[in-house]
Amino acid sequence: MTLPRVRVLPRDDDMRRILKHPSGLGFRSSGSIEWPLDKWTQRRLREGAITLEGEKENAPAASTSDK
């Protein structure tokens, strides 16, 4: 069985520098990277160390109207 893969971004530059998937895949100096959606990746998502690419862009915008 092959695990699905997801594109992830680090929370900040510190995470970009120190975080590496157990398979050996680390972040490049910029941009996202594709990791398998395994338990390790899911844990990092829950902790907030990484986010799914496009997650912020797809989040519903908060309403600013006072109506």
Q: Are 19 and 50 in contact (CB under 8 A)?
A: yes
Please state the rounded mean pLDDT for residues 33-62: 86
pLDDT of amino acid 57: 55
Say which DSSP state 59 is in: S
Domain ranges of the chain: 5-58
Q: Are 57 and 49 in contact (CB under 8 A)?
A: no
pTM given for the model: 0.78
Please state the rounded mean pLDDT for residues 42-56: 93
Cα 20 to Cα 7, 23, 30, 64: the distances in Å are 14, 8, 14, 39
